Structure 1
Amino acid sequence: MFEETLNGLKAAGRPLLVHLWHKYVLVPIGTLLMMLLLYGINEIIKKTTINFPASVCLMLLMYGGLSLNSWLFGEHRTDVFLKLVDIPCGFALRWMNLYFTPPFVTLVLSDKVSVAEAFTIMAVYIVGYIFTFGFMAYFTWGLQLLLGTYKLHVKQDEKDEESQIPESNQQDEVNDNASKQSSTSTTKETPWEDKVRDFVLEWIDFFIYGLLFIAGIPVYFVTGYEMPVQLATAVLLFRACLFIPAKLRRFLHPILISFALCLLVYYILSLIKGQNYFTCIRHYKTGRTYLTLFDSKTYPDWPGAGDFLLSLMDISIVSLSLSMYKYRGDLKRHFASVLPPIILCAFMSFFIYPPVCYRLGISPARSLGFTGRSVTMALGIPLVTALEGSTQLMAVTTIISGILGVLVGDFIVFKMFRVRKHDFVSRGVSFGLNCGAVSTYYLTVEDPPAGAMSALSFTFFGTLMVILSAIDPLVRTAQKLVGW
């Protein structure tokens, strides 16, 4: 057994080195270079009067640059650049859900809301969420019919409904039984050396972040700096939540479970140290990201774990350009069907949501925060900040919209509003305008063409909203609608 274990460790040596080289050398270098580029773009934007996020600007530039390069020099030369860009972008895209946890962690710092206002916010959110799904899906579908870009797949859909839906449960049982049989057979046939090798490769990341957690404990208790131990906790708990079976994970979403466990661990650590819990959470996100790293006057505190994760979220936003480039043909073909819903949704979010919320008894700041309800967080923060609204309400509603899109989005689109399953344009637009980046990531895995449509929709929608918030007369009009 001992000799076989040593052989397994030797067998894991080469793939382990490749894994460490790629994940802990190439990815950090690529991420650092991407952040330097984003920092430069942000400094250029600061010279203007427009408050526009550098991450979305680079995403649009990269998408346009890739499309232009492919048109001029062909796809083969473009693929060489794509392989390099995919090193940091592919990693950031795979872990995008982790980067959405900071707003939930800092939710405990938000102002208190009365019971009546809380129920009003909930009612407005639910009604607006369902309405936006149905209205945008049907509007996009109607435009496709008028423009002649929609192809009916009634017969195919009926076959799918007859064959796949009734047998889904049976098929799941068959797959489960087959997987169990295959797993039992493989465990019997798998040599001990292969088990050791697979174990090392699977758990090496847990081991590394476990060391970071252990090293962060004395740093926290001696110096009071929380970032290493808080970051290791966030990553380890999120990785652990991914072990939840796929069927349960749709309801027990890793974002919700991991952030709740993080709050518990942070509370225990603050009790042991004797630190105020709210102070601990404030240090989790100080606002000193890579964009404000050298601005020590405005942001005197050191970066926290939340700032680190939010910085990586900018890379994941940029990486969405790769999906848009891959399906640029569909985007070009259906652009005329996508643009009108984006403009209409922006008008409704900017001029209808705030006064409706205000008339129903929601405070002016939170009413303005609803303008960013379906805008991805990278764009929603500068949008709501320009309107002087509640960024915390915006962040929470935005991420909840994305999570609900993963949980019940398909049910609302396919079951409630009877959208055809092959209509990836209507599906992508309704998800993009209603659920933002979280559900876009889900669609890029489940339905890549719809994911590209969703990325295009939420990007242009958020961009248009930020442009509207940069026009002072429109900002004053929106504020007057809520009594300011």
Structure 2
Amino acid sequence: MSVTDLVYNSKMNDPLHSNAGHPSTEPQEAFTPDSSESASYVAASQSTGGTNQTSQEGGYSLSDFVQGISHGLYYSRGHLWHSYVVIPVGIVILFTILYGLNKLLTSVIKITFPCSVLGMLINLVLLCVLNVLANLEGNNPWKVRVAQVATVSFNKYLTLIKPPMNFTLKWINVFFIPSFIILPLSDPITFIECLKIAGVFVIGFLLLLCVDVYMILSLQWVLKRFGLLKLDSDAHQVVESSSSSTSEEEYELDEFPRSTSVGVFTTMRDDITTIDIPRNEKITATREVRQPRGSNVSENPFEHDPPPQPQRVYLRGGEQSSIVSSSVLQPNPSLPTRAPPVLVSTVETPREIKTPLNLSPNAQRITIFLTKYIDWTLYCTLFVVSLPLYYVTSIHTFLPYHLGITILSYYLALLIPQKWPQLKKIAHPILISTAEILFVCFIGSLIYHNGKPKGFIDDLKFYKTGKNYLNLFNGKSMAESGKIIGKMTDDYTATSLWPGCGDVLSSLMDISIVSLSLPMFTHRRDFVRNFWVLMPPIIVSIALTFFCYPVFCYHIGIAPERSIGFIGRSVTLALGTPLITALNGSISLMAVCTILSGICGVLVGDPLFKLLRVKQNDYVTRGVSLGINCGAIATAHLLNVDPRAASMSSLSFSVFGTIMVVLASIVSVKDMIRSWVGL
């Protein structure tokens, strides 16, 4: 048995990775070092023989650490290359494109519009165009040639954009944290105004949810009455097969496996979307399309044209049925030949090593630990290195210090629902990590400022300075989310031109906005098929949210900026940030309301649907209503409960937020809203 086998077996035995092959809706138990190390030691003893067992009695030597660390880095080289080279390079390229789009909008066209939303729309249109061209059929030579070029271009384009975009979608919750961290810097709010905000939030949430639910149910009844909408007899069961329903619907849903990334467990899957690349028979016979290198995708899945595999059937609660009909196993000759979907591996297959490595058990333990927790190790190292940079008075640099704290806090917050499953719904990682970050930063600032609490607020101004990728090269010192500052005290910080941790994360959130085009493209057929059920409630919700919230809030005594901030209550934070920024409203209030809306949707969604008599198998009503009112957090919850409802939810909040951002970018609409609240 090789060291790689030991690492792999230890991963499978580790509760943090135990659901890699078979995702479960139930959280796993927290990692227990004793049991894992014991299992690793037994396997190590069997593989290395009795000669190495005697060395187990001694302590760790310098040679053990050197060999363990070197081999741990060696076995993690693929993950390190993909996560710390390929993805960052792709993100930098996307930053460059967005920076160019921003300059085009602001300097050439002279309009105010978020470059991230424009990039999302451009990418969505490009994907749709390439897909249409790749689907051209016929014996005309030029059509065959165009289909060939489009298919190759489609594949190569996805190879470039999917790693960074999947990364930003997978970790999108981290990018929301800065909006909560800077809450102590917000203007003070009275207790009475706080009660008014809470009342508007609760009543508005319930009313808008009821309006959306009954509107969707009414539209379904009317359209079905006139034969314009055919509802599934059992919409909760979704079968991905090669039958006639597949050619008609072509759902691009996967089983949403949890992340199998080395060292960190999340409830999100590594590959957020599965985009099928349709291929013509003539193209298949003349050419070979390779999948993205370094991804968990089987290369050349069409090379041997294997028979279809047993397909998955989604049942209630996310369970999967093993019953397979004969029509699934046999291809349907009446259907046009299409390429099977891209196969995403749910288990990390270890590489085979022909020559076993004679490492001591202690070195094997270090190798296994480092390979499993390489990300934890790197960010712990970053935090340790940042401590002298923060506490040396002449330097006092914030970026590495805050970044290390933020990432480690989020990692720890992810483990809480695993240790205490009863807290799964309410212990949201954003809330938990925010409390951890503020606590650690407060203690650290007390140490640096000799016990003066004011130092905590002064340091927090540099958590998000406003120097994101759009303002990085303006040559101005900034702090407190974009305020231009004069000369600081000589010994306060030596890096006043550096961005803060919040600027890095908020810049990545712009990439995640562009990345929303991937799930929108993936579920485009759901959008077309349910267009007349999807759009009316979205338009009505936009009208109520955009034009009613600020007026009502202002007239009951809520501050103008906060009244505008309520417009983004139902919009996911990724799109709500550019929305409220364009209207010059309160980003802090919007962020709090958005996160709380998502959590409320997870907590009270099912009881409310039961009270409103929404059928358990009505994935359209559940998905659209939660998507409009609860955004990305509720969508993540639906991934584990009803994937088809999750697709409708992702479509709903993406379209809902995009239209809201477009409205906010119209100068006349913006001025009208601001005038209504006395600005």
TM-score (norm 2): 0.62
Question: Residue 18 and residue 277 in structure 1: after superposition, are their counterparts in 2 closer, same or farther (change >3 A)?
Answer: same
Letter in 2 for 1:71: V
Counterpart for residue 82 of structure 1? 158
User: Which residue, 74, 91, 112 being the options, matches 1:51?
Assistant: 112
Letter in 1 for 2:112: N
1:462 Cα shift?
Answer: 2.2
Counterpart for residue 434 of structure 2? 259
Checking the alignment, whether the CA contact within 8 Å between 2:445 and 2:455 is kept in structure 1 is yes
Counterpart for residue 229 of structure 2? 149
Question: Residue 401 and residue 145 in structure 1: after superposition, are their counterparts in 2 closer, same or farther (change >3 A)?
Answer: same
Question: Residue 442 and residue 288 in structure 1: after superposition, are their counterparts in 2 closer, same or farther (change >3 A)?
Answer: farther
Checking the alignment, whether the CA contact within 8 Å between 1:331 and 1:452 is kept in structure 2 is no
Checking the alignment, whether the CA contact within 8 Å between 2:623 and 2:648 is kept in structure 1 is yes
Matched residue SS, 2:461 = helix
- Within a 5 Å distance, the mapping from 1:47-446 to structure 2 comes to 47=107, 48-74=109-135, 77=152, 78-147=154-223, 148-149=228-229, 151=231, 153=233, 198-222=368-392, 223-246=395-418, 247=421, 248-274=423-449, 276-297=455-476, 299=478, 301=496, 302-412=498-608, 414-444=609-639, 446=641
1:196 Cα shift?
Answer: 5.8
- Looking at structure 1, the residues matched to 156 and 214 of structure 2 have their Cα atoms a distance apart, in angstroms, of 40
Question: Residue 242 and residue 198 in structure 1: after superposition, are their counterparts in 2 closer, same or farther (change >3 A)?
Answer: farther
- Looking at structure 2, the residues matched to 293 and 195 of structure 1 have their Cα atoms a distance apart, in angstroms, of 43
> Which is worse superposed, 283-292 or 8-17?
8-17
Q: Deviations over 1:43-70 (max 9, x none)?
A: 2222334432222222222122112111
1:333 Cα shift?
Answer: 1.1
1:381 Cα shift?
Answer: 3.3
- Looking at structure 2, the residues matched to 425 and 305 of structure 1 have their Cα atoms a distance apart, in angstroms, of 39
> Which is worse superposed, 420-429 or 212-221?
420-429
Letter in 1 for 2:506: L
1:257 Cα shift?
Answer: 0.7
Question: Residue 437 and residue 164 in structure 1: after superposition, are their counterparts in 2 closer, same or farther (change >3 A)?
Answer: closer
Checking the alignment, whether the CA contact within 8 Å between 2:130 and 2:151 is kept in structure 1 is no
1:91 Cα shift?
Answer: 1.4
Letter in 1 for 2:397: Y
The Cα RMSD (Å) is: 2.9
Q: Deviations over 1:35-93 (max 9, x none)?
A: 11111122222233443222222222212211211110249643443233221111111
Checking the alignment, whether the CA contact within 8 Å between 2:546 and 2:660 is kept in structure 1 is yes
Identity of aligned residues (%): 41
> Which is worse superposed, 207-216 or 48-57?
48-57
1:430 Cα shift?
Answer: 1.5
Question: Residue 233 and residue 444 in structure 1: after superposition, are their counterparts in 2 closer, same or farther (change >3 A)?
Answer: same
> Which is worse superposed, 76-85 or 283-292?
76-85
1:456 Cα shift?
Answer: 2.6
1:40 aligns with 2:100: yes
Checking the alignment, whether the CA contact within 8 Å between 2:120 and 2:516 is kept in structure 1 is yes
Q: Deviations over 1:389-417 (max 9, x none)?
A: 322212221222223333433443x3232
Question: Residue 29 and residue 475 in structure 1: after superposition, are their counterparts in 2 closer, same or farther (change >3 A)?
Answer: closer
Checking the alignment, whether the CA contact within 8 Å between 2:180 and 2:588 is kept in structure 1 is no
> Which is worse superposed, 285-294 or 273-282?
273-282
Counterpart for residue 90 of structure 2? 30
Question: Residue 76 and residue 201 in structure 1: after superposition, are their counterparts in 2 closer, same or farther (change >3 A)?
Answer: farther
TM-score (norm 1): 0.85
1:298 Cα shift?
Answer: 7.3
- Looking at structure 2, the residues matched to 49 and 155 of structure 1 have their Cα atoms a distance apart, in angstroms, of 48
Matched residue SS, 1:283 = coil
More helix per residue: 1 or 2?
1
Counterpart for residue 188 of structure 1? none
- Looking at structure 2, the residues matched to 378 and 331 of structure 1 have their Cα atoms a distance apart, in angstroms, of 21
Checking the alignment, whether the CA contact within 8 Å between 1:99 and 1:310 is kept in structure 2 is yes
Q: Deviations over 1:115-159 (max 9, x none)?
A: 1111111011011112222211221232233333351547979xx
Checking the alignment, whether the CA contact within 8 Å between 1:226 and 1:284 is kept in structure 2 is yes
Letter in 2 for 1:456: L
> RCO higher in 1 or 2 (8 Å CA, sep ≥ 6)?
1
Q: Deviations over 1:264-305 (max 9, x none)?
A: 110111111117111111100011111211123374642111
Question: Residue 55 and residue 410 in structure 1: after superposition, are their counterparts in 2 closer, same or farther (change >3 A)?
Answer: farther
1:197 Cα shift?
Answer: 5.2
Question: Residue 131 and residue 13 in structure 1: after superposition, are their counterparts in 2 closer, same or farther (change >3 A)?
Answer: same
Counterpart for residue 649 of structure 2? 454
Letter in 1 for 2:195: F
- Looking at structure 2, the residues matched to 70 and 164 of structure 1 have their Cα atoms a distance apart, in angstroms, of 33
- Looking at structure 1, the residues matched to 368 and 505 of structure 2 have their Cα atoms a distance apart, in angstroms, of 29
1:352 Cα shift?
Answer: 1.0
Matched residue SS, 2:499 = coil
1:226 Cα shift?
Answer: 0.8
Counterpart for residue 16 of structure 1? 76
- Looking at structure 2, the residues matched to 358 and 139 of structure 1 have their Cα atoms a distance apart, in angstroms, of 28
Letter in 2 for 1:434: N
Equivalences, count: 454
- Looking at structure 1, the residues matched to 83 and 155 of structure 2 have their Cα atoms a distance apart, in angstroms, of 21
- Looking at structure 2, the residues matched to 26 and 141 of structure 1 have their Cα atoms a distance apart, in angstroms, of 46
> Which is worse superposed, 145-154 or 228-237?
145-154
> Which is worse superposed, 349-358 or 234-243?
349-358
Question: Residue 385 and residue 254 in structure 1: after superposition, are their counterparts in 2 closer, same or farther (change >3 A)?
Answer: closer
- Looking at structure 1, the residues matched to 75 and 620 of structure 2 have their Cα atoms a distance apart, in angstroms, of 41
Letter in 1 for 2:229: T
1:108 Cα shift?
Answer: 0.8
Q: Deviations over 1:225-269 (max 9, x none)?
A: 111011001001111121123432322111111110100110111
Matched residue SS, 1:287 = coil
- Looking at structure 2, the residues matched to 220 and 21 of structure 1 have their Cα atoms a distance apart, in angstroms, of 29
- Looking at structure 2, the residues matched to 410 and 83 of structure 1 have their Cα atoms a distance apart, in angstroms, of 39
Checking the alignment, whether the CA contact within 8 Å between 1:357 and 1:367 is kept in structure 2 is yes
Q: Which runs of 5+ in 2 are unaligned?
A: 1-44, 57-63, 136-149, 238-314, 320-360, 479-483, 485-495
